[in-house]
Structure 1
């Protein structure tokens, strides 16, 4: 989910999965074989259950499967197990889309997307949208089951996905091995549920958006599976543009519109026209002045005053930072010394645990606050509604995975070098029917929407055309926690799927 901060596994993942249940979910619950090793012994057999929900004014019957997909080493021993939850509608058209969804981190489980956006049940955080202590599961009337079957995957080290030997987990903590293992899990599900003929889509959030681009290639090259499209939600696309906002003018300029949007949102005064003005200013005067020598005299006063007015950060703080605001927004945006805003939603502020310090921030109020309730809620839901009962702890977000992540594949690399722009260009060029939808929240400073817009704007028109769209919604990194924005995004996603043979709606 957040950015705290791969030798290929194809030969190690070739052994077949034991026979699985059909997509209709008929038959008895599968039992776990005796080949389980280590902590994998705590995983029960797959649990299959049948459900009915009302969505879009119609009754939808569906089968839910909570289970694991086995990964094997080259010697045939079980290397690990990938936990997944599949929702498959019954009595629907044979060409119904199949979407594989995962979160990011690296180190985040899929419960965020599962109970926050696409699943049949959703976690309600109360009237103010931020009450994790009293959050309650409710029916999701906007579940994506309305228009696609969904398989949610937890990469190794997240959720209930584990390696047989604890020391082997780190082998998956790099860009390429992670993508290969997720691609193998997808291929196993497709093969054992007779879904080779279904149009296949990927949904990835945050690092999961980056992962989606890598998995598209891994599916094609290692598994012979061609993906029809992908939805990247609050994605990392270009590390050098995203992680350098405090040092380089272009990074700061691409982040600026999110600061302006958050300032308006905090005052309940968000205005699309004013946001467009902020975008023009960011890549105009703001970028030009930051890229040159600092202004002086009346020019400096006017410039820093305008930046202050658009972001809510006091003019003297703006001047002190020469207009670079990445280090100043957290404690200066609200105009109150005892408040701090979250980079995951800069419109969201909470009491500052360290008001006497300019740098100490403490836990993030969004990621380390109310959204942590997704973990406990999913564990309870899986046990009591899906019938998947295990004593293993559900790992919602493991910061150690992110700290150990090898961004350049096995051998290291920096997150500044992380990029999927070339990947996007390649699969748009090699698959003329591939379509991409990128979605962001306006006030997200973790993955500012300006970076994705820059990437999309610089794609060759012959590749992008009407096959790539960028949509921006009110809110932050997880803007779907806002009910109205979740509804808007779901409507756009439905159009993306239902118009798979036509063109995409423009923003």
Structure 2
């Protein structure tokens, strides 16, 4: 498919989901509340409901559930931004960002983020909500939250990289029209897989006549080839090692010379990976026995894993293996979402990942209580915080980069880097802020940095990108600081 044809297909996808059936939300509930931010009482209106999105013929396709927060002002302010927030998965509702980070009501947390909360659970006012500077809209993709498809429509149709983005673009246009916010500055906020969704979305909205001013990414992935749950390429493996070092340091498993200072240990790890480790991986079976043992010994220093184990595994330990091996003698495993947190037994997935299991339980409880008791959103359906069926049936094919020439194949991993670069290049005012967690094994911060450092954008626009690393995991906002 030529580049011109590819653009046309993507544009038509956007048009196909751009029409709202009406200017009213379905099952809408609204309430006024107040939150204190920096000593100031902020009064806001919260509105929850389903907004229909239709195809170009006006036929209803989906009803997207969202919760919006608008600050009540004495007079209309067209310069006040509106930020559209979503989580990742794919197949995850906006629950984590909504009740864990940026909503005016969040789950009660304490400590440094490495503590697992116990029932009973409750929501508290959030002094760190973004509501003082922007209105907020938390959006649940098809198959999550209370979002639904129209009768006779197969939901799996929308479980697709590009179809998903098209629905989001249609929803945003419909929301701006419904709420009378066409003049408002638009921002995007995405977490995890939200890196791919948000990058494509920013570029597509520009094609759509909606021009975001910026985007916030939390623990994102832009190129699935840079993270291990989709790739065991040398690059993906090497980019994980500094995160292994941080985790091993936290649990006291590094040699004494590396335990004195975390940042120095990480810097040494990164330098060694760049200069020696990646070279050893590159050589493969051509690597001499002496060099292989030397590499295994140094890799052991930076990961806390026994050198003989590393040697026998060909100098390769993926993130799940690392999560199991580091504390194996203590009978514990690390969380992939926050390597500071541990659980009993080997790592087997989200079911025994202490971070995901415990935090999901807390947030699900709070979300269902909030919607039904605090807001009075009446439905017999439970709030679907996550949907494994969506993830397992997701079509990644449409997210792969376009072939380099018309007669070549569309191969490789889904990668939204070009879309993000396009959004930045076309709008010099467009700003990107990226936050990563130092102990995140799912989307290691070096993988994020690698993608950002390889964006094909002019040097003069590099200043529009900010990447910060924080002392937390995948959901860094659970650290109070």
- The alignment partner of 1:180 has SS state of helix
**CA deviation string 1:36-94 (max 9, x = no partner):** xxxxxxxxx21111111111121111111111111235664433210001111122754
**CA deviation string 1:354-408 (max 9, x = no partner):** 8xxxx79953222233323312311111122222221112111111101111112
- Give the one of 126, 131, 135 matched to 1:145: 131
1:172 corresponds to 2:158: yes
Could you tell me which residue of structure 2 aligns to residue 79 of structure 1? 61
Could you tell me which residue of structure 1 aligns to residue 107 of structure 2? 123
- The alignment partner of 1:87 has SS state of strand
Could you tell me which residue of structure 2 aligns to residue 291 of structure 1? 282
**CA deviation string 1:190-212 (max 9, x = no partner):** 11212122111100001112101
- Give the one of 331, 341, 344 matched to 2:324: 331
**CA deviation string 1:125-148 (max 9, x = no partner):** 455631254332111111111221
Cα distance change, pair 110–256 in 1 and its aligned pair in 2 (3 A): same
- The alignment partner of 1:201 has SS state of strand
Q: Tell whether the 8 Å contact from 2:324 to 2:346 is kept in structure 1 after alignment.
A: no
- Give the one of 249, 269, 282 matched to 1:264: 249
1:278 corresponds to 2:260: no
Q: Could you say what the CA RMSD is over the residues aligned between the two structures, in angstroms?
A: 2.7
Separation in 2 of the partners of 1:159 and 1:244? Answer: 25
Could you tell me which residue of structure 2 aligns to residue 309 of structure 1? 301
Could you tell me which residue of structure 2 aligns to residue 436 of structure 1? 432
Segments of 5+ residues of structure 1 without an aligned counterpart are: 1-5, 21-29, 33-44, 485-507
1:249 corresponds to 2:242: no
- The alignment partner of 1:219 has SS state of helix
Q: Tell whether the 8 Å contact from 1:407 to 1:414 is kept in structure 2 after alignment.
A: no
Residues 12-411 of structure 1 mapped to structure 2, 5 A cutoff: 12-20=16-24, 32=26, 45-73=27-55, 76-91=58-73, 93-125=77-109, 127=111, 129-131=115-117, 133-165=119-151, 168-221=154-207, 223-243=208-228, 247-267=232-252, 271-293=262-284, 299-326=291-318, 328-352=321-345, 363-409=352-398
1:424 corresponds to 2:410: no
**CA deviation string 1:318-365 (max 9, x = no partner):** 2222221205302111252511112212222110168xxxx7995322
Separation in 1 of the partners of 2:54 and 2:351? Answer: 41
Q: Tell whether the 8 Å contact from 2:116 to 2:359 is kept in structure 1 after alignment.
A: yes
Q: Tell whether the 8 Å contact from 2:115 to 2:341 is kept in structure 1 after alignment.
A: no
Could you tell me which residue of structure 1 aligns to residue 449 of structure 2? 453
Number of equivalences: 452
Separation in 2 of the partners of 1:429 and 1:360? Answer: 39
- The alignment partner of 1:79 has SS state of strand
TM-score normalized by structure 1?
A: 0.82
- The alignment partner of 2:433 has SS state of strand
Separation in 1 of the partners of 2:197 and 2:19? Answer: 23
Separation in 2 of the partners of 1:126 and 1:466? Answer: 35
TM-score normalized by structure 2?
A: 0.87
Cα distance change, pair 469–415 in 1 and its aligned pair in 2 (3 A): farther
**CA deviation string 1:146-201 (max 9, x = no partner):** 22111110011110001123752111110111101111111111112121221111
Segments of 5+ residues of structure 2 without an aligned counterpart are: 1-8, 254-258, 402-408
Q: Tell whether the 8 Å contact from 1:105 to 1:206 is kept in structure 2 after alignment.
A: yes
Could you tell me which residue of structure 2 aligns to residue 25 of structure 1? none
- The alignment partner of 2:84 has SS state of strand
Cα distance change, pair 55–64 in 1 and its aligned pair in 2 (3 A): same
